[in-house]
């Protein structure tokens, strides 16, 4: 229940309390005669009400901040853990990469040795995971390079770069950018990071779509934000899994067979949050999914 | 028979030295091993390798401190640092403190041999390398590394931090073909699929500031399909 909505009742509630106190502790209701200008009386009453409402707002602010701090602590703790994990994995993987290269070089190894190829593939997979972990912890601390970002141009660039991929051949991929009555506004942001976020969403959609599916990359503005959407007619996400899709290393049940690090969406969220924006997702199982990025203008 | 290039490999993790040493030997180098900075310094008093490959995080004496001590003695032996903290500051510092190049762990061992060869090509024995210079000068361009300021024809220009970083890497590695992926790694510490476009954007920014013409370059040349190369003759000053 959102108590904030009842803030306007606070003065009335304070009045009731005060009157109850008089009745209970001061015996019968005493009558008080006050001689005061009407103007002064109104001013005093107004001031008193302001103080009451202000106190109420202050309380809610305090509650908010405490919640935020708790959330921040958990997020920080998790990031710290991930970065330590990343750190611990680097040396062994470096050694394994060198060891594999030695095996490759050894005279007795055939170049099509299935075991060797398979191990190499798996090592590369772990390596990508480590790289993504590092990106994630890096994103938390790296200073943003803020500039004016032309969202329409950015989407066009990302769209073009995805268009070259073989996966897009059997999917209907569209870019929809409004031009009328005026073009999309620009945002203050780090262009490199924002294109990474949009790219990840598109790549994600491509990964789960099947031949014949449609993907739309689109954007629109409302009063004080730009919304970027990546919509697809893919398999959709089960309702109980929707709250977790942005979490690090979360893989939805239906897509565990599809390779991926489970960090793509977490990266998107980290980027958007550092731009004071928000992410959300709407999905229906069997129909498709829309991922949204909202950025303040 | 030609004398083989002698590489001193310094890492506290035996798994790494045990696997990298045979790889480097097979690649044609003579390899010695030290397990921390102190051992590396001790080794240097008795022997003279051609190049050092050194981890940053080590017990006793870490790579950074070892590098500092070697440079303090006026020794310009080529050094490649193996960094592992992904933070951009660590990478920037590696160059500032006079490492000739660096590689982020984990790396492909082939990438290490490529770096070693590139560094050896660039370095003139006994001479102070560009990466240790605080002021870098070439015709019409001055890069003050300690103040992080750039002057074109004596007019100061202000590149974005990432472009500045890119320029620093390119100007301290002149005549070297640097791939977009490598530059992305330099500026970002990690690569991502649309990232090479980000590199192109920064290069375009630099060209604009340096009044460089991509079709007839004075400073930065595009090598189609491969990357970029800093072509102007460069001189360093202490």
> B141: which 2 tokens?
């361009």
Q: What is the ipTM of this complex?
A: 0.82
Identify whether residues B77 and B108 lie together within a single domain: yes
Q: What is the pLDDT of residues A216-265, one digit of tens each?
A: 999 999 888 999 999 999 888 888 888 888 887 777 776 666 767 778 89
Give the per-residue pLDDT at A108.
Answer: 65
Structural domain includes residue B1: no
Task: Tell me B129's DSSP state.
Answer: P
Instruction: Count CB atoms within 10 A of the CB of residue A103.
Output: 16
**Cβ <8 Å between B23 and A101:** yes
What does DSSP say about strands B101-104 and A288-296: parallel, antiparallel, or unpaired?
Answer: unpaired
Q: What is the pLDDT of residues A111-134, one digit of tens each?
A: 677 888 888 888 988 888 888 887
Identify whether residues B16 and B106 lie together within a single domain: yes
Q: With beta carbons under 8 A apart, name residues in chain A contacting B107.
A: 94, 97
Q: How confident is the model at residue A78 (pLDDT cuts 50, 70, 90)?
A: confident
What is chain B's percent helix, strand, coil content, to nearest 5? 40, 20, 40
Q: How confident is the model at residue B92 (pLDDT cuts 50, 70, 90)?
A: low
Q: What is the pLDDT of residues B24-83, one digit of tens each?
A: 999 999 999 999 999 999 999 999 999 999 998 888 898 989 999 998 888 889 999 988
Identify whether residues B110 and B211 lie together within a single domain: no
Identify whether residues B112 and B155 lie together within a single domain: no
List the one residue out of B124, B225, B113, B221 whose CA is nearest residue B176: B221
- Containing domain of residue B190, as a range? 133-237
Identify whether residues B19 and B117 lie together within a single domain: yes
pTM of the model: 0.74
Is the Cβ–Cβ distance between B101 and B173 less than 8 Å? yes
Is the Cβ–Cβ distance between B128 and B119 less than 8 Å? no
Q: How confident is the model at residue B182 (pLDDT cuts 50, 70, 90)?
A: confident
Q: With beta carbons under 8 A apart, name residues in chain B contacting A105.
A: 23, 26
List the one residue out of A148, A156, A145, A142 whose CA is nearest residue A295: A148
Identify whether residues B170 and B93 lie together within a single domain: no
Across the range A103-107, mean pLDDT stands at 78
Identify whether residues B141 and B217 lie together within a single domain: yes
Mark B11-34 as b/e (b = at least 16 C-beta within 10 Å). bbbeebbebbbbbbeebebebbbb
Instruction: Count CB atoms within 10 A of the CB of residue A145.
Output: 14
Using the 3D structure, point to which of B91, B122, B153 is the last residue of a domain: B122
Where in chain A are all domains bearing CATH 3.30.565.10?
A: 147-296
Identify whether residues B80 and B164 lie together within a single domain: no
Is a pLDDT exceeding 80 seen at residue B195? no
Identify whether residues B108 and B163 lie together within a single domain: no
Total structural domains within chain B? 2
> B203: which 2 tokens?
């290069």
Q: What is the pLDDT of residues A181-229, one digit of tens each?
A: 888 999 999 988 899 899 999 988 998 888 889 999 999 998 889 999 9
Give the per-residue pLDDT at A28.
Answer: 66
Identify whether residues B88 and B140 lie together within a single domain: no
Residue B113, domain CATH: 3.40.50.2300
Is a pLDDT exceeding 80 seen at residue B12? yes
Is a pLDDT exceeding 80 seen at residue A31? no
Q: With beta carbons under 8 A apart, name residues in chain B contacting A146.
A: none
Give the per-residue pLDDT at B80.
Answer: 93
Structural domain includes residue B128: no
Across the range B152-166, mean pLDDT stands at 89
Interface test with B, best of A82, A84, A94 (most B CBs within 10 A): A94
Mean pLDDT, chain A, whole residue set: 86
**Minimum mean pLDDT range among A14-28, A54-68, B89-103:** B89-103
Nearest-by-Cβ selection for A95 from B15, B195, B197? B15
Q: How confident is the model at residue A97 (pLDDT cuts 50, 70, 90)?
A: very high
Q: How confident is the model at residue B228 (pLDDT cuts 50, 70, 90)?
A: very high
**Minimum mean pLDDT range among A105-109, A128-132, A210-214, B220-224:** A105-109
What does DSSP say about strands B51-55 and B6-10: parallel, antiparallel, or unpaired?
Answer: parallel
Give the per-residue pLDDT at B44.
Answer: 94
Structural domain includes residue B86: yes
Which positions in chain B have a beta carbon within 8 angstroms of at least one beta carbon in chain A?
13, 15-16, 18-20, 22-23, 26, 82, 84-88, 105-110, 160-162, 188-195, 197-198, 201
Distance (Å) of CA B119 to CA A282, B5, B64 = 52, 12, 19
Q: With beta carbons under 8 A apart, name residues in chain A contacting B194.
A: 157-158, 161, 195-196, 199
How is domain A147-296 classified at the architecture level of CATH? 2-Layer Sandwich (3.30)
Q: What value, to the nearest 5°, has the Cα angle with vertex A193 and ends A192 and A197? A: 120
Residue of A nearest to B105 (CA): A90
Percent of chain A with pLDDT over 90: 30
Q: Which segments within A122-250 are labelled E, that is strand?
A: 147-150, 172-176, 186-189, 214-222, 225-232
Using the 3D structure, point to which of B87, B122, B157 is the last residue of a domain: B122
Distance (Å) of CA A15 to CA A12, A36, A57 = 5, 20, 18
Nearest-by-Cβ selection for B86 from A138, A195, A199? A138
Length, in residues, of chain B: 238
Give the per-residue pLDDT at A111.
Answer: 66
What does DSSP say about strands B79-83 and B51-55: parallel, antiparallel, or unpaired?
Answer: parallel
Give the per-residue pLDDT at A223.
Answer: 83
Q: Which residue has the higher pLDDT, A87 or A171?
A: A171
């Amino acid at each position: 229940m959102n108590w904030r909505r009842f803030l306007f009742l606070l003065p009335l509630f304070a009045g009731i309390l005060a009157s109850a106190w008089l009745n209970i502790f001061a015996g019968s209701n005493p009558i008080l005669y006050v001689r005061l200008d009407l103007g002064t009386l109104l001013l005093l009453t107004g001031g008193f009400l302001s103080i009451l409402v202000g106190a109420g707002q202050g309380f809610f602010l305090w509650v908010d901040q405490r919640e935020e701090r708790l959330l921040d602590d958990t997020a920080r703790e998790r990031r710290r853990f991930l970065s330590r994990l990343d750190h611990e994995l680097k040396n062994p993987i470096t050694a394994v990469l060198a060891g594999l290269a030695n095996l490759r070089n050894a005279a007795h190894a055939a170049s099509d040795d299935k075991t060797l190829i398979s191990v190499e593939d798996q090592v590369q997979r772990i390596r990508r995971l480590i790289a993504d972990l590092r990106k994630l912890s890096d994103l938390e601390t790296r200073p943003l390079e803020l500039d004016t970002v032309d969202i329409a141009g950015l989407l066009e660039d990302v769209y073009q770069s995805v268009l070259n991929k073989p996966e897009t051949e059997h999917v209907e991929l569209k870019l929809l950018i409004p031009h009328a009555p005026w073009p999309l506004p620009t945002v203050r942001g780090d262009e490199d990071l924002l294109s990474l976020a949009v790219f990840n969403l598109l790549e994600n959609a491509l990964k789960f779509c099947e031949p014949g599916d449609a993907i739309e990359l689109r954007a629109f503005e409302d009063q004080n934000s730009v919304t970027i959407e990546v919509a697809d007619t893919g398999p959709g996400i089960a309702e109980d899994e929707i709250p977790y899709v942005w979490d690090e290393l979360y893989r939805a049940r239906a897509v565990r067979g599809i390779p991926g690090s489970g960090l793509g969406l977490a990266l998107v969220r980290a980027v958007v949050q550092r731009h004071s924006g928000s992410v959300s997702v709407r999905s229906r199982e069997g129909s498709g999914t829309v991922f949204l990025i909202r950025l303040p203008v | 028979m030609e004398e083989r290039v002698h590489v001193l490999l310094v890492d506290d993790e035996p798994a790494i030295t045990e696997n990298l040493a045979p790889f480097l030997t097979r690649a044609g180098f003579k390899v010695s091993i030290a397990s921390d900075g102190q051992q590396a310094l001790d080794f240097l008093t008795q022997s003279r390798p051609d190049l050092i490959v050194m981890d940053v995080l080590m017990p006793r004496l870490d790579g950074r401190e070892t590098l500092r001590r070697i440079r303090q003695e006026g020794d310009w032996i080529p050094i490649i640092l193996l960094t592992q903290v992904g933070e951009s500051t660590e990478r920037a510092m590696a160059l500032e403190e006079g490492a000739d190049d660096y590689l982020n762990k984990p790396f492909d061992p082939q990438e290490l041999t490529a770096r070693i060869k590139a560094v050896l090509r660039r370095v003139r024995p006994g001479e102070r390398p560009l990466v240790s210079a605080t002021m870098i000068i070439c015709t019409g361009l001055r890069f003050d590394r300690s103040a992080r300021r750039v002057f074109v024809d004596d007019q100061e220009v202000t590149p974005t931090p990432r472009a500045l970083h890119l320029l620093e890497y390119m100007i301290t590695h002149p005549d070297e073909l640097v791939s977009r992926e490598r530059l992305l790694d330099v500026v970002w510490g990690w690569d991502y699929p649309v990232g090479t476009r980000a590199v192109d954007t920064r290069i375009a920014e630099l060209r604009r500031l340096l009044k460089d013409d991509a079709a007839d370059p004075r400073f930065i040349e595009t090598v189609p399909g491969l990357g970029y190369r800093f072509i102007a003759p460069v001189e360093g000053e202490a």
